[in-house]
Amino acid sequence: MSSGASNILSPKKLLHTKWTAVAPRNKEKHFLVTGVIEPVPTGSPIVSVEIEAVHSKRAQIIAWRELTDATRWHRGWI
């Protein structure tokens, strides 16, 4: 496991970022982060984000760290 500077991802800067699924399902390939889920209690680290499929508008909540898995996600729309 290498952790180069290009792989650094901050949960606070994820809002409105674009992602491409490596293995699209139901024609859902491109996604947009539409929300950063604020933790309870306030001040705790952010754990989850809401992503929305561009094609279907289907939204789902995932752990933001899933976006760092290169076998599942690529940053930007490819």
Domain boundaries, the chain: 10-75
pLDDT band at 2, cuts 50/70/90?
very low
What burial letters (b/e) apply to 5-44, b meaning 16+ CB within 10 Å? eeeeeebeebeeeebebeeeeeebbbbbbeebeeeeeeee
Give mean pLDDT, residues 3-32: 85
Q: Are 61 and 48 in contact (CB under 8 A)?
A: yes
% of the chain exceeding 90 in pLDDT: 73
Which tens digit of pLDDT belongs to each residue from 27-59?
999 999 999 998 888 888 889 999 999 999 999
Q: Quote the pTM value.
A: 0.84
State the amino acid at position 36 in one-letter form: V
| Residue 3 pLDDT > 50 | no
